[in-house]
Amino acid sequence: MDVSYILDPLNDAQREAVAAPPGPVLVLAGAGSGKTRVLTHRVSWLVEAHGVSPLSVLAVTFTNKAAQEMRGRIEGMLGYSLRGMWMGTFHGVAHRLLRAHHRDAGLEEGFQILDSADQHRIVRRVLRDMGLDEGYWAPKQVQWYLNAHKEDGRRAQHLGEPSDTQQRQLLGIYKNYEDLCRRFSLVDFAELLLRAFELLQHNEPLREQYQRKLQHVLVDEFQDTNAIQYELIKLLGQKFRQVFIVGDDDQSIYGWRGARVENILQFEKDFAGAQVFRLEQNYRSTANILNAANAVIDINRGRLGKKLWTEGGDGESVKLYNAYNEFDEARFVVARIQSWVDRGNPRGDTAILYRSNAQSRVFEEILLDTGIPYRVYGGLRFFERAEIKDALAYLRLAARRRDDPSFERIVNVPARGIGNKTLEQVREHARINRLSLWDAARTLIESRELSSRAVSALSGFLELIDDIDTRIDKLPLAEQVDTAIRIGGLPDHYKKEKGEKAEARLENLEELVTAARQFGPRDEEEDLEPLTAFLTHAALEAGEGQAEAWEDCVQLMSLHSAKGLEFPMVFLTGMEEGLFPHQRSLQEPGRLEEERRLCYVGMTRAMQQLYLSHAEIRRWHGRENYPSPSRFLGEVPGEFLEEVRGSGFSLGVNRRRRAVPEAGAGGGLRLGDHVRHASFGSGTVLNLEGRGEHARVQVKFDDVGSKWLVLGYANLDRV
């Protein structure tokens, strides 16, 4: 069979990796080097060149969007459907495994997946049951504690008996949380992975069955795996050692949510004799951008090492702007974007990146003032929106009465006169008698232990859910969703909000019905009832929905959100010590290197033009700060960097040779003058640029070093 069509589109390094002989393979794929192409072509190569059955391949990545793209590319190459192939996210694959073997995993057949908001409600319930004050035991922090232990493979029983009082209480919360989830067959996202790992770890026949079944294991974005994800891969892959991983240790930026860069460094030890391929040819950025990024990331120790290069030209130098304050920075950025647009380029080709989401406020203000459309990338996704979660909760409770998170969410939405006192009685009865909230409510109603008003309100709610269940039975999926929304009273409820917010909520509810109408279950969901499959899909998609159709607008986003994206023009802003790198990174081992990787990721988003900016003064945390420029700026070699000025200043002044000051520059100050500043103290004038209120002066201060100041704001006195 002619398989040249699989290899011909690849460069030499990609071709070697795709056609590597059997055995463990590590592909170090630099930014913009075509890593997903390598993985998809590898699957096609295994199937076509080696006769591997697609049903013996496990391919995992981190988002459903990426998994669908992967599947589409492979099917496009092979020319036929890959129905039944194990391809998806880690969580999706774990869910498929647990559903197939729910009894072995100790779960009910209809176990419920908890998204983050559902888990939050369960945590709050546990805290209430234990009589703990949420003001001290913050539910969000408890969630983090629970998930962090699970992601590292630690159950409550593995933690011993802490000597610290606070840790003992947290351990007690963990035990009660596990007990409640076990009783009602509730599975949070971290539990999906841990339960799947334990299922295979402790069940040798099942483990051997899946090792034989899924002999070829391929992993994309391997640098983002956490401890339990890597253990799961090792468990499945160590028998036949056909493990093919693609990743970039230089782009491991999610340590704060459990990702371990050590996994990619550990792979060669766990899979001895692994072949290593480096994809270093970049198809995205100009040479100057790549050289600047290479220089920054090369400072990190413990890298496996690679150096990005391109066959394209040098391109423009990386631009550096030294702003007076955050407003000066924002005005400069917006002015450059406007100039870009005036030259006929789309606004959507520009991105403003920042380390902290709080930085977006000033950029938004300036963009609004200038009438430039923008979008804050990474806002609430479709299935995270309150009105969508309310509608899904009605459907979940109608499908499964023991769904306590859904009961809690909608018992009084819309308001139906069920007060907190009544709910506390229901919760307490459920806790004492180890019942679901639904069963506890039913029991209290029948026993007449509640007031007549509470009985009436609570009965009305239970009858409403029963009515929804009865009326949606046998209906097509879209009509089930539409009926539940209408009977639940959500449209009338949200109309009360009035204005655009109400319209947006109603449009979202309509879009949920459309989503149900267009819904087609994935392979792992085909044997489920349509409503169950749709609810499972919604839970797995929560927080990861597809991007909406965008207007041509400027993109604002955090550096973490920017990973995987690219733009012709990129602004990397707020490059100051304490902000980027973040102050926390200076206090925690390993965090500074992750911050540097984050800088590398930000720089390599740029295709044609990259701007770096920092401010002399920044109002942060409610006070004025005078930060030093980020150390990352000092790590960019001067030959790739060019200092630029705002609209009032001359351009083309580079780091190595400054322009001769114009006559009359500096508002009367001269080189060498001794000056005093109210905050910075005494100093000496080193350089002058510009005229009038836009003139800038560089002063070497005795205590804080060299700074550029705008004379119109500087309040300098000659001494």
Report, as residue numbers or ranges, the catalytic residues.
35-36, 220-221, 251, 605
Q: Give yes or no for a cis peptide into 22 (omega within 30° of 0).
A: no
| Residue 564, SS3 per DSSP | coil
Contact 609, 316 (CB under 8 A): yes
28: left (phi over 0), alpha (psi -120 to 50) or beta: beta
9: left (phi over 0), alpha (psi -120 to 50) or beta: alpha
DSSP letter (8 states) at residue 343: T
Type and span of the H or E element at 434? none
Contact 29, 247 (CB under 8 A): yes
Q: Using the structure block, give the residue that is written with the tokens 């200043």.
A: 649
| Residue 342, SS3 per DSSP | helix
**Alpha carbon distance 701, 537 (integer Å):** 60
| Residue 508, SS3 per DSSP | helix
Point out which residues pair with 242 in neighbouring strands: 216
Structure tokens at 171: 């351990």
The percent of the chain in helix, strand and coil, each rounded to the nearest 5, is: 50, 15, 35
| Residue 624, SS3 per DSSP | strand
Question: Phi and psi dihedrals of 568, rounded to 5?
Answer: -60, -40
DSSP structure string for 268-324: HHHSTT-EEEEE-B-SSS-HHHHHHHHHHHTT-SS------B-SS---SPEEEEEES
- CA nearest to 576, candidates 655, 649, 634: 634
Q: Give yes or no for a cis peptide into 414 (omega within 30° of 0).
A: yes
Question: Phi and psi dihedrals of 717, rounded to 5?
Answer: -115, 130
DSSP structure string for 30-69: -TTS-HHHHHHHHHHHHHHHH---GGGEEEEES-HHHHHH
Contact 430, 450 (CB under 8 A): no
